């Protein structure tokens, strides 16, 4: 079959075969390898940037530890680990209730030695209550939610709970030991 073709046809067939083989190599081998290399280089650059950021923090660590010690000393001199009173807590609960279209129906605080205990009732719709509970996740760890009850009420759902706001969760001596520097 190949013998019956003219020289020109043979050259065109060989040329077409070479072009087809080159196209297969380019699309199935070269291009995927090139894109994979680009992804790996991008990943390497990202990791290099993260390493540089970590190294800059590591260089600043003694400075940060010293600043942290100074803050702890200042707070210890004031006598309070965090400054929040009953009025601020009432405002916090009122604002988060309003944000979720709920009614704060009861706020009864009791100041104790190491915390402020609050009986809180909030009324509204079921979806609004669930949104409120998810918003409570964003509150810091100084709040402890106890005895959380959800029940039906005349206006939809009643959320009643006891909330403890801790003035001090950790002994300052333990915090000071955690930031000791070498040398």
Task: Supply the pLDDT for residue 101.
Answer: 92
Q: Are strands 143-153 and 103-111 parallel, antiparallel or unpaired?
A: unpaired
Residue 128: CB atoms within 10 A of its CB come to 20
- Percent of the chain residues past pLDDT 90, beyond the cut: 38
Task: Supply the pLDDT for residue 31.
Answer: 92
What is the C-alpha separation between 78 and 168, in angstroms, rounded?
A: 13
List per-block mean pLDDT (blocks of 10 residues) for the chain, which spans 183 residues: 82 94 92 93 94 87 80 63 68 89 90 84 92 82 83 89 74 51 41
Give yes or no for a contact between 110 and 162, defined as CB atoms under 8 angstroms apart.
no
Farthest CA pair distance, the chain = 106
What is the C-alpha separation between 41 and 103, in angstroms, rounded?
A: 55
Residue 98: CB atoms within 10 A of its CB come to 11
Give yes or no for a contact between 142 and 163, defined as CB atoms under 8 angstroms apart.
no
For the stretch 58-98, pLDDT in tens is: 888 888 788 777 776 776 665 544 446 778 888 888 989 99
Task: Supply the pLDDT for residue 58.
Answer: 84
């Amino acid at each position: 079959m190949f013998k019956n073709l003219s020289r020109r046809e043979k050259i065109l067939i060989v040329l077409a075969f070479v072009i087809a083989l080159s196209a297969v190599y380019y699309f199935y081998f070269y291009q995927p390898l090139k894109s994979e290399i680009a992804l790996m280089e991008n990943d390497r650059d990202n990791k290099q940037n993260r390493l540089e950021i970590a190294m800059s923090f590591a260089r600043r660590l003694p400075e940060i530890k010293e600043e942290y010690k100074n803050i702890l000393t200042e707070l210890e001199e004031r006598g309070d680990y965090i400054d929040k009173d009953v009025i601020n807590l009432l405002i916090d609960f009122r604002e988060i209730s309003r944000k979720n279209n709920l009614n704060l129906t009861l706020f009864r605080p009791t100041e104790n030695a190491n915390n402020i205990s609050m009986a809180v009732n909030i009324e509204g719709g079921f979806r609004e209550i669930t949104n409120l509970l998810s918003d409570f996740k964003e509150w810091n760890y100084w709040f402890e939610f106890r005895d959380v009850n959800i029940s039906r009420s005349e206006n939809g759902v009643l959320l009643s709970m006891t909330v403890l706001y801790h003035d001090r969760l950790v002994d300052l001596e333990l915090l000071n030991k955690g930031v000791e520097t070498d040398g």
